[in-house]
Structure 1
Amino acid sequence: MDFEQKIKSYPNLELLPPQVLTLYEDMVLGRYFEDMCAQMYYRGKMFGFVHLYTGQEAISSGVIKALKQSDYVCSTYRDHVHALSKGVSAREIMAELFGKETGCCKGRGGSMHIFSKKHNFLGGFAFIGEGIPVALGAAFQSVYRKQVLGELNELKVTACFFGDGTTNIGQFFECLNMAALWKLPVIFIVENNQWAIGMAHPRSSSVPEIHSKAAAFGIPGEEVDGMDVLAVRKVSEQAISRARAGEGPTLIEALTYRFRGHSLADPDELRSFQEKEAWTARDPIKRLANYIVENNIAKSSALEELNRTVKAIIEDSVEFATNSPEPSVEDLYKYLFL
């Protein structure tokens, strides 16, 4: 049975089967990568703060895999999986986390500052909200190139990720206002994982429904189940089409949950066991796997084989990082603006 026949068999399936499997593979890659990061951190292979994305994979895959290669992504300090979804190799990211010369930032960036010019990945940022103005600049230059410089290329879209805690600071409001005024091709994605470090979201915002804040700027605000990659993909495609057509920004609030503490240095004692259990039961990867099998897109044996392939990629990335050279002391001032 070819793909077109499969689509006819499942009228509610808006994506081609290979696209659904790509989403699954990308989510599994993110999950296994972060699990390996935890192992390497506790073995002393990584230093400093390391913030894992475990549980939130549906957002990264759902948004970024709907973008084009020429589009931009701006991340947070929880940036490893965003970079993987944008196409940065597991080898380059793991080597960066090990502080090696073969890392995507030559070992100078580390966990919170993943960057790749080649992939239009504008970086992770250590401070909350720090990436929003950068995303705004990327979106502005896309419009400037077209309207002022006369480039014929279509508008490049910028996807800007940040957490729920960021929506209470000034940069969030200022940048959304500017983006709306200039109709910039940017999508603001709030990864509402319910906790800003140790602060529960409902306790920190007078308006807990973050997507409703979009109304102040006259732009669309969408709430989506961040544990459902197909739902995230659908709302993202709509926002991307709107941005690329020159109709301006969209604010997307994806309701999700991080399965681990704020960082690997966080004992995670503030969140209740019952809350964690309720959210982990909605694991986005298991949810998509069930969807794939139930709709005969692929058999469970095929998914297991895909899992093994991804595990091999992650193991290879660790071997690559381990055997890569350390940055040279002679290059201490290299890559700096002096």
Structure 2
Amino acid sequence: MRTIREFEERVHNDFATGEIPGFVHLYAGEEASATGVCMHLNGNDYIASTHRGHGHCIAKGVDPVGMMAEIWGKATGTCKGKGGSMHIADLAVGMLGANGIVGGGGPLICGTALAGKLKGDKSVGVCFFGDGASNQGTIFEAMNLATVWNLPVIFLAENNGYAEATSSTFSVSCDNIADRAAAFGMPGVIVDGFDFFAVYEAAGEAIERARNGGGPTLMEVKVSRYYGHFEGDQQTYRAPGEVQKLRETKDCLLQFRRRVTANGEITAEQLDAIDADVLKMIDDSVVKAKSDPKPAPADLMTDVYVSY
């Protein structure tokens, strides 16, 4: 969670200088969701992400140094500098990719889940999507297909309250996205996305059920992003002081620190050491990214088609 937070805070600051090309959509504030889910996954499992995918990437094991180079558009990046923020992927660790298509991950994750079912390897797929994508036909069709074929899939709705600038209370017809699970014959679970332990427990139950042939689950994580839909979004659609209040009272990292230090599981000094190590790693990754080479003109037409 600390790695995701520092990564996003650094990208936020550096993007403001104008040096980072393209757009970025930051995950800060939602760290407990990706981390609590992906801690249950192994190398055979796959995730499909969204345009707000940095947190999902890091939680699934994508190298943050390569990610930083990718965001800076460098040849050493995870996708050789060709994808940028919204298209980071690493199939070697089961990360199908961030995706600029809203709701595009549902059909993809059904494909990996079907493959796992046919191979009998007990792998699962997790489709992360937002409250905006919860209204997309691709998600509905994927949930129906997952139930019909009894696929090992978790549909993970990260409801941060706003589809771009539109409140989910205005754009989503029911109070809870998870309530829609009943229409597809699967369990629906609602979780506090600021509580890492709540996410971890609920995700563990859904993933274990899927591994053992119990079929798909729709899990709604209620959370909030700290930054705008994209960098440069002034968030004028949010109430004054809304984000600051969330940072001070509900932040997942603060809640985690309070809980583990209070019960003696981890000391404050240990957490401080982790924070320092993460900050150094992020600083070093930026220094490296700035000095790394850009893709050459000859690279333009490579990686267009897969070679079997």
The C-alpha deviation readout for 1:311-333, integer Å capped at 9, x for no partner, is 01101111121121110111210
Structure 1 runs of 4+ aligned residues shifted over 3 Å read none
Is 1:246 aligned to residue 205 of structure 2?
no
Aligned-residue offset at 1:276: 2.5
**What's the counterpart of residue 75 of structure 2?**
101
Letter in 1 for 2:12: A
Residues of 2 paired with 1:248 and 1:45: CA distance? 45
1:92 is paired with a residue whose SS is helix
The C-alpha deviation readout for 1:64-99, integer Å capped at 9, x for no partner, is 111112211110001111111111111100000011
**What's the counterpart of residue 82 of structure 1?**
56
**What's the counterpart of residue 309 of structure 1?**
277
**What's the counterpart of residue 264 of structure 1?**
231
**Alignment counterpart, residue 141 of structure 1, candidates 104, 112, 115:** 115
**Structure 1 segments unaligned to the other structure (5+ residues):** 1-26, 147-153
Q: How many pairs does the alignment contain?
A: 305
Residues of 2 paired with 1:166 and 1:225: CA distance? 19
2:4 is paired with a residue whose SS is helix
**Alignment counterpart, residue 164 of structure 2, candidates 194, 197, 202:** 197
Q: Scaled by the length of structure 2, what TM-score is found?
A: 0.97
Aligned-residue offset at 1:274: 4.2
Q: Which of structures 1 and 2 has the bigger CA Rg?
A: 1
**What's the counterpart of residue 31 of structure 2?**
57
* 8 A Cα contact 2:161 2:224, kept in partner: yes
* 8 A Cα contact 2:2 2:278, kept in partner: yes
Q: Which of 43-52 and 253-262 deviates more?
A: 43-52
Residues of 1 paired with 2:202 and 2:245: CA distance? 24
The C-alpha deviation readout for 1:192-213, integer Å capped at 9, x for no partner, is 0011011000101221211110
The C-alpha deviation readout for 1:260-280, integer Å capped at 9, x for no partner, is 111102111110024334432
1:187 is paired with a residue whose SS is strand
The C-alpha deviation readout for 1:289-329, integer Å capped at 9, x for no partner, is 00111011122122111100110110111112112111011
The C-alpha deviation readout for 1:206-249, integer Å capped at 9, x for no partner, is 21211110001110000000000100000000011111011110
- Residues 1-338 of structure 1 aligned to structure 2 (within 5 Å): 27-146=1-120, 154-280=121-247, 281-337=249-305
Task: Supply the RMSD in Å over aligned alpha carbons.
Answer: 1.1
Letter in 2 for 1:263: F
1:48 is paired with a residue whose SS is coil
Residues of 2 paired with 1:177 and 1:278: CA distance? 39
2:93 is paired with a residue whose SS is coil
> Identity percentage over the alignment?
39
* 8 A Cα contact 2:131 2:172, kept in partner: no
1:273 is paired with a residue whose SS is coil
Q: Scaled by the length of structure 1, what TM-score is found?
A: 0.88
